[in-house]
Chain A
Amino acid sequence: MPASFMPSAQELMRFAPEMLLTLAGTLIMLLEPFTESGNKSRLAWLALGALLAALGLTAVSAADPGPAFSNMLLIDEFGTFFRFLVLAVGVLTILISTHYLRSGGHESGEFYALLLFSIVGQCIMATANELIMLFIGLEVSSIASYVLAGYLRDDKRNNESALKYFLLGSFATAFLLYGIAWTYGITGTTDLSLIRSALLNPASRPNEVLTAAASAFLFVGLAFKVSAAPFQMWTPDVYQGAPAPVTAFFSAGPKAAAFAMFLRIVLTGFEPLKKEWEPLLWVSALATMIIGNFAALRQTNVKRLLAYSSISHAGYVLVALTTHSGPGAAAAMFYLAAYCFMNVGAFAIITHVARRDERYVEIADLAGLGTRQPLMAGLLTVFLLSLTGIPLTAGFFGKFYIFKVALDQGFIWLAILGLLNSALAAYYYLRVIVVMYMEPAPEGEGELPAPAAGVLAAAVGSAIATFFLGLFPSSLLDFADKARRIFN
């Protein structure tokens, strides 16, 4: 057996964050039966510690970029960027969830373990350089997510959300996998860089019909995961039904990782097919923006409203993707980072207002929040303004760069339509703000308790990130710009 089959210490180091999280997750599962029901928050602390340590290890492994495990993983700046992002989302999610779970009497170790496993999957998605590895990362992330969506076993909404997510998700995965199988058949490999050279090589120019089939299936699978139209229909139902902290997580972590995957496939392996993909992405981006925004206009449930809004945001990122360019990738990366913070922040407040059993998730339930809890209302206002795209917030620059790149690359109509869409979005975000400040608090409603420390920390942290990215976007953009160089 040649020595190269054994991973070197260097390779293991590059994979350290994932290994650490897996161990921590397993440890939490093992400790769970031995932890008194009053002490479950220790497990949360453990998970939090593991995530922070993984962040540290990610920084360490970023110092020594390169491939691992026979080129199946590629730890580069692009991967590092998304690793940081999903880990940060994980930290915020744990902060939001502890109080939520405790108040409902549902706190247990599995939740944190599943969260960690899901994040492991997302980290693999971010760094995978090979289709089978991508698939495994995706499934690790998804299977844990299915369980999280239905975490409160006795809640009908949770059940339904989990079932829909599971069935439709597996359905989409089957398509993705079928696409991978065909790609393997056509090019004889699943390694993205080899796929690229196979597609470029005129001598072994693959059959066009088969290539079309393979890329169509792949596209469908990827589009489902980022909830791009017309494969977005699961999103509102799943987001509405899942527990609020889990929805916060879904709307950020898996989505960012799926976009990482999408970006890598579109810009490396399948870059030679960009002429064929471009119209697909163009139409999908536009439809995603329109469907997300228009459907959001008439929602009354906040979680559902944010679900549609997250669809529309996916549409903006797809605009960047459509350009098939390095700057487009950088813009998409920046946007995703901005989006993760503002969206998770908004969900943190929603979780707080929803209270036990999520009885208060209508927009009307936010009435009078401006006077009842000005700090919470103020923070939510910040997030909503950022989602709207008001300057000095991260959301503005995210949109700004995306539309700038689109114009630079000659996608003028797409940019104009996107801008109009984002103008429209102001309507439904503002409606929420108006309700918070201008309508009196409903009578006879239970007292809104003071926010839990974790929720407060998550919301304030997200708000700081939102403003920081709005005031000093170059700090992150420089990094994204460096990371996207791998695509040129």
Chain B
Amino acid sequence: MPFQLPAEVPLSWYLILSAILFVTGAAGFLIRRNIITVFMCIELMLNAVNLTFISFSNALGKVDGHIFSFFVMVVAAAEAAVGLAIILTVFKNRATLEIDEVSSLKL
């Protein structure tokens, strides 16, 4: 019997995809060395959340999950604006974007 695609992609596939995205983002946050990349990993995690919201919203047949994803996007945009500004000041003062260079406060 030849392999057949299911007629409709089940909910679990979306959720697994979003989980993979989320874990990828978290792992990237842990291992990447460039501050901008680290920051983008957070964006990836937030997008995973958006995907989760929309999948659930669709499965539940409710519209509010879609709305939530917009909220998340707006907040993420605000966060990006502030975050990039902070990264800029760090760069101005230290002339590097290597994340381990920013470690004078410790113990």
Q: Taking beta carbons and an 8 Å cutoff, which residues of A are in contact with B?
A: 132, 135-136, 139, 143, 146-147, 150, 153-154, 156-157, 159-164, 166-167, 170-171, 174, 177-178, 180-182, 184-185, 188, 190, 236-237, 240-241
Q: How far is the CA of A190 from the CA of B42 in the complex (A)?
A: 23
The contact size tier of chain B is: 35 or more
B9 within 8 A of A: no
Contact of A188 among B45, B53, B60 (CB under 8 A): B60
Q: Is the CB of A174 within 8 A of B82?
A: no
Q: How far is the CA of A184 from the CA of B106 in the complex (A)?
A: 38
Q: Is the CB of A181 within 8 A of B104?
A: no
How many residue pairs link A and B with beta carbons under 8 A? The number is: 110
Secondary structure of the B side of the interface? helix
Contact of B104 among A146, A153, A156, A177 (CB under 8 A): A156
Report chain A residues within 8 Å CB of B29.
Answer: 167, 171
Q: What residue of chain B has the Cβ atom nearest to residue A299's Cβ?
A: B107
Give the Cβ gap from B46 to chain A, nearest Cβ, in Å.
6
Give the Cβ gap from B50 to chain A, nearest Cβ, in Å.
8
Contact of B65 among A146, A163, A177, A184 (CB under 8 A): A184
Give the Cβ gap from A295 to chain B, nearest Cβ, in Å.
9
With contacts A143-B79, A162-B86, A163-B35 taken as known, whether A157 is within 8 angstroms of B105 at the C-beta atoms is yes
With contacts A159-B86, A163-B86, A171-B42 taken as known, whether A237 is within 8 angstroms of B105 at the C-beta atoms is yes
Q: Taking beta carbons and an 8 Å cutoff, which residues of B are in contact with A?
A: 15, 22, 25-26, 29, 35, 38-39, 42, 45-46, 48-49, 52-53, 55-57, 59-60, 62, 64-65, 68, 71-72, 75, 78-79, 82-83, 85-87, 89-90, 92-94, 102-106
Q: What residue of chain A has the Cβ atom nearest to residue B29's Cβ?
A: A171
Q: What residue of chain B has the Cβ atom nearest to residue A213's Cβ?
A: B19
Report chain B residues within 8 Å CB of A164.
Answer: 102, 105
Q: Which of A147, A161, A174 has the most CB of B within 10 A?
A: A174
Q: Is the CB of B90 within 8 A of A159?
A: yes
Q: How far is the CA of A156 from the CA of B82 in the complex (A)?
A: 17
Q: Is the CB of A184 within 8 A of B53?
A: yes
Q: Is the CB of B56 within 8 A of A181?
A: yes
With contacts A139-B75, A139-B79, A156-B104 taken as known, whether A174 is within 8 angstroms of B93 at the C-beta atoms is no
Q: Is the CB of B86 within 8 A of A178?
A: no
Report chain A residues within 8 Å CB of B94.
Answer: 156, 159
Give the Cβ gap from A126 to chain B, nearest Cβ, in Å.
19
Give the Cβ gap from A177 to chain B, nearest Cβ, in Å.
5
Q: Which of B35, B42, B60 has the most CB of A within 10 A?
A: B42
Q: How far is the CA of A285 from the CA of B94 in the complex (A)?
A: 38
Q: Is the CB of B86 within 8 A of A174?
A: no
